[in-house]
Protein backbone atom coordinates (compact mmCIF):
# COMPACT_ATOMS: atom_id res chain seq x y z
CA UNK A 1 0.00 0.00 0.00
CA UNK A 2 1.39 3.41 -0.97
CA UNK A 3 2.09 5.95 1.75
CA UNK A 4 0.22 9.22 1.70
CA UNK A 5 2.41 12.15 0.67
CA UNK A 6 2.12 15.75 1.86
CA UNK A 7 0.34 18.16 -0.47
CA UNK A 8 2.75 19.88 -2.81
CA UNK A 9 5.58 17.37 -2.19
CA UNK A 10 7.26 15.22 -4.83
CA UNK A 11 5.22 12.06 -5.64
CA UNK A 12 8.13 9.65 -4.96
CA UNK A 13 8.89 10.84 -1.37
CA UNK A 14 7.18 9.02 1.56
CA UNK A 15 5.12 11.04 4.03
CA UNK A 16 7.13 12.25 7.05
CA UNK A 17 6.16 14.13 10.19
CA UNK A 18 6.86 17.87 9.88
CA UNK A 19 10.36 18.97 10.90
CA UNK A 20 10.70 21.74 13.54
CA UNK A 21 11.67 24.31 10.88
CA UNK A 22 9.06 23.24 8.32
CA UNK A 23 7.34 26.23 6.67
CA UNK A 24 3.90 24.76 7.50
CA UNK A 25 4.81 24.59 11.21
CA UNK A 26 6.08 28.19 11.14
CA UNK A 27 2.90 29.40 9.41
CA UNK A 28 0.77 27.59 12.01
CA UNK A 29 2.77 29.14 14.88
CA UNK A 30 2.48 32.62 13.33
CA UNK A 31 -1.28 32.09 12.95
CA UNK A 32 -1.54 31.11 16.63
CA UNK A 33 0.44 34.21 17.61
CA UNK A 34 -2.03 36.42 15.71
CA UNK A 35 -5.10 34.56 16.94
CA UNK A 36 -4.07 34.77 20.61
CA UNK A 37 -2.31 38.17 20.36
CA UNK A 38 1.09 36.76 21.48
CA UNK A 39 4.24 38.85 21.11
CA UNK A 40 6.68 35.92 21.33
CA UNK A 41 6.81 32.13 21.11
CA UNK A 42 9.99 30.30 22.19
CA UNK A 43 10.01 26.52 21.69
CA UNK A 44 12.74 24.00 22.52
CA UNK A 45 12.87 20.39 21.37
CA UNK A 46 16.13 18.55 22.04
CA UNK A 47 18.91 20.68 20.54
CA UNK A 48 16.49 22.60 18.29
CA UNK A 49 14.98 25.97 19.19
CA UNK A 50 12.48 28.22 17.44
CA UNK A 51 11.82 31.77 18.65
CA UNK A 52 9.22 33.89 16.91
CA UNK A 53 8.81 37.51 17.96
CA UNK A 54 6.22 39.95 16.76
CA UNK A 55 7.02 43.66 16.57
CA UNK A 56 5.10 46.60 15.22
CA UNK A 57 6.58 46.41 11.72
CA UNK A 58 7.88 42.91 11.07
CA UNK A 59 8.05 39.34 12.31
CA UNK A 60 11.46 38.02 13.28
CA UNK A 61 12.10 34.31 12.88
CA UNK A 62 15.33 33.11 14.41
CA UNK A 63 16.50 29.53 14.68
CA UNK A 64 19.47 28.53 16.80
CA UNK A 65 20.84 25.53 18.62
CA UNK A 66 20.01 25.78 22.32
CA UNK A 67 23.03 26.88 24.38
CA UNK A 68 23.99 24.99 27.54
CA UNK A 69 22.10 26.28 30.57
CA UNK A 70 24.28 28.63 32.60
CA UNK A 71 23.71 31.88 34.42
CA UNK A 72 26.27 34.41 35.45
CA UNK A 73 25.90 37.86 36.92
CA UNK A 74 27.22 41.02 35.30
CA UNK A 75 30.97 41.35 35.15
CA UNK A 76 32.82 43.90 37.26
CA UNK A 77 33.77 47.20 35.67
CA UNK A 78 37.31 47.40 34.25
CA UNK A 79 39.92 49.35 36.24
CA UNK A 80 39.94 53.13 35.70
CA UNK A 81 43.51 53.19 34.37
CA UNK A 82 42.65 51.50 31.03
CA UNK A 83 43.40 52.95 27.59
CA UNK A 84 41.69 56.23 26.65
CA UNK A 85 38.50 55.88 24.63
CA UNK A 86 38.88 56.61 20.92
CA UNK A 87 35.95 58.74 19.75
CA UNK A 88 36.24 57.48 16.14
CA UNK A 89 35.00 53.97 17.10
CA UNK A 90 31.30 53.35 16.64
CA UNK A 91 29.57 50.92 18.99
CA UNK A 92 26.89 48.34 18.36
CA UNK A 93 23.41 49.30 19.51
CA UNK A 94 21.13 46.99 21.46
CA UNK A 95 17.67 47.92 20.20
CA UNK A 96 14.19 47.39 21.58
CA UNK A 97 12.41 44.49 19.83
CA UNK A 98 9.02 45.84 20.91
CA UNK A 99 7.38 49.03 22.13
CA UNK A 100 6.78 49.18 25.88
CA UNK A 101 8.22 50.36 29.18
CA UNK A 102 11.96 49.92 29.84
CA UNK A 103 13.05 48.49 33.20
CA UNK A 104 16.78 48.43 34.01
CA UNK A 105 16.46 45.98 36.93
CA UNK A 106 14.46 42.81 37.68
CA UNK A 107 12.54 44.49 40.53
CA UNK A 108 12.29 47.91 42.20
CA UNK A 109 15.33 48.53 44.40
CA UNK A 110 17.38 45.74 42.78
CA UNK A 111 20.65 46.57 40.99
CA UNK A 112 20.37 47.01 37.21
CA UNK A 113 20.97 44.03 34.91
CA UNK A 114 23.90 45.91 33.30
CA UNK A 115 25.60 49.30 33.59
CA UNK A 116 28.43 51.12 31.81
CA UNK A 117 31.46 48.80 31.91
CA UNK A 118 29.45 45.55 32.14
CA UNK A 119 30.62 42.76 29.83
CA UNK A 120 27.78 41.13 27.87
CA UNK A 121 27.38 38.01 25.75
CA UNK A 122 24.49 37.30 23.34
CA UNK A 123 22.60 35.51 26.14
CA UNK A 124 23.07 38.25 28.79
CA UNK A 125 19.74 39.78 29.86
CA UNK A 126 20.23 43.57 29.69
CA UNK A 127 16.76 44.81 30.65
CA UNK A 128 13.04 44.05 30.78
CA UNK A 129 10.47 45.64 28.49
CA UNK A 130 6.87 45.49 29.63
CA UNK A 131 4.42 45.32 26.75
CA UNK A 132 0.70 44.70 27.27
CA UNK A 133 1.25 43.55 30.89
CA UNK A 134 3.87 40.99 29.74
CA UNK A 135 7.45 41.32 31.01
CA UNK A 136 9.93 40.46 28.24
CA UNK A 137 13.58 39.84 29.18
CA UNK A 138 15.76 41.39 26.47
CA UNK A 139 19.06 39.62 25.67
CA UNK A 140 22.09 41.57 24.40
CA UNK A 141 22.32 39.44 21.20
CA UNK A 142 25.94 40.65 20.84
CA UNK A 143 29.21 40.48 22.78
CA UNK A 144 31.25 43.33 24.20
CA UNK A 145 31.23 45.98 26.92
CA UNK A 146 28.36 48.41 27.62
CA UNK A 147 29.62 51.94 26.84
CA UNK A 148 26.34 53.88 27.12
CA UNK A 149 22.90 53.39 28.67
CA UNK A 150 20.65 55.41 26.36
CA UNK A 151 17.31 55.27 28.24
CA UNK A 152 16.15 55.94 31.79
CA UNK A 153 14.43 53.36 34.01
CA UNK A 154 10.62 53.19 33.49
CA UNK A 155 10.88 55.25 30.28
CA UNK A 156 8.57 54.33 27.37
CA UNK A 157 10.50 52.95 24.37
CA UNK A 158 9.57 52.32 20.74
CA UNK A 159 10.28 49.41 18.41
CA UNK A 160 13.87 49.64 17.15
CA UNK A 161 14.89 52.35 19.64
CA UNK A 162 18.51 52.05 20.79
CA UNK A 163 18.67 51.08 24.48
CA UNK A 164 22.40 50.52 24.99
CA UNK A 165 25.61 51.04 23.08
CA UNK A 166 28.15 48.18 23.16
CA UNK A 167 31.83 48.24 22.23
CA UNK A 168 32.33 44.84 20.53
CA UNK A 169 36.12 45.06 20.88
CA UNK A 170 35.91 45.71 24.65
Residues with Cβ < 8 Å from 36, sequence gap 6 or more?
none
> What span, in angstroms and rounded, lies between the C-alpha atoms of 92 and 73?
21
Measured CA angle at 96 (ends 167, 136), to 5 deg: 115
Per-residue pLDDT band for 20 (boundaries 50, 70, 90) equals low
Its domain, for residue 24, covers: 1-66
Of 29, 49, 66, the domain-final residue: 66
> What span, in angstroms and rounded, lies between the C-alpha atoms of 53 and 77?
32
Number of domains the chain contains: 2
Report whether 167 contacts 89 (CB < 8 A).
yes
The phi, psi pair for 29, rounded to 5°, reads: -65, -40
Q: What is the pLDDT of residues 77-107, one digit of tens each?
A: 444 444 444 343 467 899 999 999 999 999 9
Assigned domain for 36 exists: yes
Domain identity same for 107 and 141: yes
Residues with Cβ < 8 Å from 134, sequence gap 6 or more?
39
Q: What is the pLDDT of residues 32-69, one digit of tens each?
A: 777 777 777 777 777 667 777 775 443 444 444 444 44
pTM of the model: 0.49
Question: What are the C-alpha distances in Å from 30 to residues 46, 110, 159?
Answer: 21, 36, 19
Whether 164 shows a pLDDT value over 80: the answer reads yes
Domain identity same for 116 and 49: no
Assigned domain for 79 exists: no
Amino acid sequence: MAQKRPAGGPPDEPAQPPRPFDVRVLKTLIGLMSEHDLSEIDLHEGEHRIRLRRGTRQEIVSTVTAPPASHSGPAAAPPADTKPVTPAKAGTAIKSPTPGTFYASPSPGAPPFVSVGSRVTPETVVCIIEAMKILNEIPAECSGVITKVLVENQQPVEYGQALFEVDPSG
